[in-house]
Each structure stands twice: as C-alpha cells, then as structure tokens.
Amino acid sequence: MEPILAEFTFTPEIFIKVQRFIIWNYISKGAMRWVLIVLAIFWTVKFVIFNTLAESLTVVGIVIMLLFIWWLIILWMSRRSFAKNKALKHPISYLFSEESVQLNTQNVQSVLQWATFEKAIELPDVFLLQQNRVAVNPVLKSGFQTAADVERFRGLLRKKGLLV
C-alpha cells in the first residue's frame, strides 16, 4: 500500500474544538461522571423526600452557572494555549503506512508504531488518534491531498482495528 500523506497547520478554531473534545472525553469517562451521577441522585432524593422545589432549583441553577463558568475557562485556556504555543502554528506532517506513522513538525521527527494508539475517533473535521484518555494525535481532514486519501486512511484505521 502506498503511504498516505496529511499536512496541515492548526487554526485556533480547530485546536479549541479538539481541546474541548479531549477534555469532555476525559471527564465523561472518568471519576467526574460518577460525581455528577451521585449529585443528581442526591438532588432527586432530596426533592422527593423533602419536597423543596425552590431549594432544589436554586442548587441546580448554581451548578449550571458553575458549569458555564467552567466551560468559559476551558475555552479561554484553549485559546491562550494556542496563542502561546508557537509549535502549533507551524506545519505538521503525518505519513501513514502499513507499518508505522511518521510525524514531522518543525521541532520533532518521530516514528510511532500503530500499537501506540488505542483507538481512532472521527469527527467532522478531524481524526483523533487516541494514545490514552488524554494523549491524542489530531489529524485534520483538510490535510489530506484528496477525498480518496481520506477514504484510504479511514480504511487503514479500520484495518488496524482502531476505527469501529
């Protein structure tokens, strides 16, 4: 099989989208999920037993406000991280073959084995090659030369058992 080349440079919008997905994925599959479930059960039981709708709604409102503030902080941190990380503003190149993944940036040249990746996630604009819950190699679809290359890459990911 002929290697598949993807070359791209991040935009702030795509970088922020990838960051949000990684953070959400980490939270939704980690301990935070259980904390939110326990809190939801607590509020439900409290409302049913004590029938204090006004107090329950106040608590829910505070939680929603805190989640909104948290979301804004994540958005701000992602924008700041992109602005300060000069390496993200330079071209990134991936060369995908049957044997390995070659990553080239201005500062890094590495060869990754396919076994490095646990799974791949396809989003509308990007493929995410997940090494674990927080380490992700994003590959922008716009970086492929043709739509056929995107299809070949998707097929390669399925062949490697990463994309279900």
- The CATH number covering residue 116 comes to 2.30.29.30
Domain end marker among 63, 84, 105:
84
74 and 20 within one domain: yes
Supply the range of the domain harboring residue 80: 15-84
Instruction: Decide if 164 is inside a domain.
Output: no
Q: How many domains, the chain?
A: 2
Residue 148, pLDDT score: 96
Residue 57, pLDDT score: 62
123 and 72 within one domain: no
56 and 39 within one domain: yes
Angle, nearest 10°, between helix axes 53-84 and 31-50?
160
Domain end marker among 65, 84, 103:
84
65 and 99 within one domain: no
Domain end marker among 40, 60, 84:
84
142 and 100 within one domain: yes
- The widest CA-to-CA distance across the chain, in whole angstroms, is 67
Write down the pTM of the prediction: 0.74
73 and 109 within one domain: no
Separation CA 30–CA 104 (nearest Å): 32
In 10 A of CB 143, how many CB atoms?
20
Query: Do 66 and 111 form a contact (C-beta atoms < 8 A)?
Result: no
| Per-position pLDDT tens, the chain of length 164 | 799 999 999 888 888 888 888 777 777 766 666 777 777 777 677 666 666 656 656 666 777 777 787 777 777 888 888 888 888 889 999 999 999 999 999 988 999 999 999 999 998 899 999 998 778 899 999 999 999 999 999 999 999 999 97
